[in-house]
């Protein structure tokens, strides 16, 4: 099989206060983050933070947790990419120990360097890292974490060479050897479900899992997934974001939809902005089902969304921060 050429590693500068939306100068990170982006990692959307998961969805959730619980001690990221998620947790949650995993060794080693080199106080954070499947690379540390974070791929990609050689933010290689409920597979939630199953062995007492989920399927599907994994679900925040990489992402969902998965729901950005106007993030989770009902008449399935995008319209989707607790 002919392997695709890897794109080159890149270096980007991230303005910490802008990226994390800080009022005061950062307390634990450098003001300008020097981030190396491994060839297989996902580039941050620095020119459009509304399309960037860490900046627009994860970090506001981290801040809300800090307001409600105070400083946390430990944090783990499944599929860390550049390590910006862990850096955000260090600054906003105050954690002093982070665990990071990703599929490829070069991604993890680069992310670990990004974390250690951008701390104001070198050595102030203990880094546990490993490459491989979900949380399993951290097992030899025998760690327990206050918060486990995951923003994992959804769309199955059958070409292993493609995912080995390209930056693929939305794809993973099927099939999985584990038993996965059919309803979970149908909604393209397989990796999220398996991460929840593994997380039971890595959560500290009172800890929780924070899943970043594009709300392209009904909220009821997320509740069912968590319950099937043996955890207790909570919609922590419910917001929206611009669809990143819209051509490939929407097309990927449209392809799966034609195969009988889904259906998957997208929206015009103008509709999302109007319906979510004035919604307080801190209480958005409590109003999620009501907001979901108000969006029904504006839904575009994946094929309609792809056509609308190709016609020049800006497309987005709801963004769910799903918090799962031990029962």
Domain residue limits at 153? 10-242+317-326
DSSP string for residues in 95-119: -SEEEEEESSHHHHHHHHHHHHHTB
Q: What's the pTM?
A: 0.91
So what's the pLDDT on residue 154? Answer: 74
Write the pLDDT tens digit of every residue in 17-71.
999 999 999 999 999 999 999 988 889 999 999 999 999 999 999 999 999 999 9
Give me the CATH number covering residue 153. Answer: 3.40.50.150
Let me know if residue 225 belongs to a domain: yes
Query: Around 155, how many Cα atoms within 13 Å sit in the side-chain half-sphere?
Result: 22
Is residue 252's pLDDT more than 50?
A: yes
Let me know if residue 167 belongs to a domain: yes
Q: What is the mean pLDDT of residues 288-317?
A: 97
Nearest to 288 by CA among 247, 233, 227, 243: 233
Let me know if residue 79 belongs to a domain: yes
Let me know if residue 116 belongs to a domain: yes
Let me know if residue 17 belongs to a domain: yes
Let me know if residue 108 belongs to a domain: yes
d(Cα 229, Cα 324) in Å, to the nearest integer? 10
Let me know if residue 260 belongs to a domain: no
Question: What angle is formed at CA 326 by the lines to CA 325 and CA 327, rounded to 5 degrees?
Answer: 110
Q: Are 98 and 74 in contact (CB under 8 A)?
A: yes
Tokens 């974490």 sit on residue: 145
Mean pLDDT of the chain: 92
d(Cα 231, Cα 276) in Å, to the nearest integer? 29
Residue 232 contacts by C-beta under 8 Å, 6 or more apart in sequence?
226, 324, 325, 326, 327
Write the pLDDT tens digit of every residue in 203-247.
999 999 999 999 999 999 999 999 999 999 999 999 999 998 999
- Number of structural domains (the chain) is 1
d(Cα 286, Cα 38) in Å, to the nearest integer? 38
């Amino acid at each position: 099989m002919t392997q695709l050429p890897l794109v080159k590693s890149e270096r980007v500068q991230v303005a910490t206060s802008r990226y994390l939306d800080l009022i005061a100068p950062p307390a634990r990170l450098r003001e300008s983050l020097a981030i190396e982006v491994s060839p297989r990692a996902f580039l941050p959307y620095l020119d459009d933070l509304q399309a960037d998961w860490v900046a627009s969805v994860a970090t506001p959730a981290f801040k809300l947790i800090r307001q409600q619980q105070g400083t946390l001690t430990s944090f783990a990221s499944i599929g860390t990419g550049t390590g910006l998620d862990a850096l955000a947790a260090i600054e906003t949650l105050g954690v002093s120990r982070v665990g990071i995993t990703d599929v490829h060794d070069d991604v993890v080693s680069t992310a670990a360097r990004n974390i250690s080199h951008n701390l104001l106080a070198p050595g102030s954070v203990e880094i546990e890292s490993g490459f491989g499947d979900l949380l399993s690379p951290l097992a030899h540390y025998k760690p327990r974490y206050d918060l486990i974070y995951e923003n994992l791929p959804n769309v199955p990609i059958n070409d292993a060479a493609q995912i080995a050689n390209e930056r693929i933010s939305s794809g993973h290689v099927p099939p999985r050897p584990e038993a996965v409920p059919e309803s979970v597979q149908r909604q393209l939630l397989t990796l999220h479900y398996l991460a929840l199953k593994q997380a039971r062995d890595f959560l500290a007492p009172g800890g929780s899992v924070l899943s970043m989920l594009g709300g392209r399927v009904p909220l009821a599907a997320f509740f069912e997934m968590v319950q099937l994994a043996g955890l207790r679900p909570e919609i922590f925040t419910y917001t929206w974001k611009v669809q990143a990489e819209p051509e490939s992402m929407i097309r990927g969902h449209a392809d799966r939809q034609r195969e009988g998965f889904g259906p998957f729901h997208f929206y015009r950005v103008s509709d999302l902005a109007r319906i979510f106007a004035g919604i307080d993030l801190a209480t958005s989770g409590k109003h999620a089902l009501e907001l979901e009902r108000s969006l029904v008449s504006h839904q575009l399935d994946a094929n309609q969304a792809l056509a609308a995008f190709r016609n020049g319209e800006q497309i987005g989707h709801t963004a769910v921060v799903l918090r799962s607790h031990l029962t």
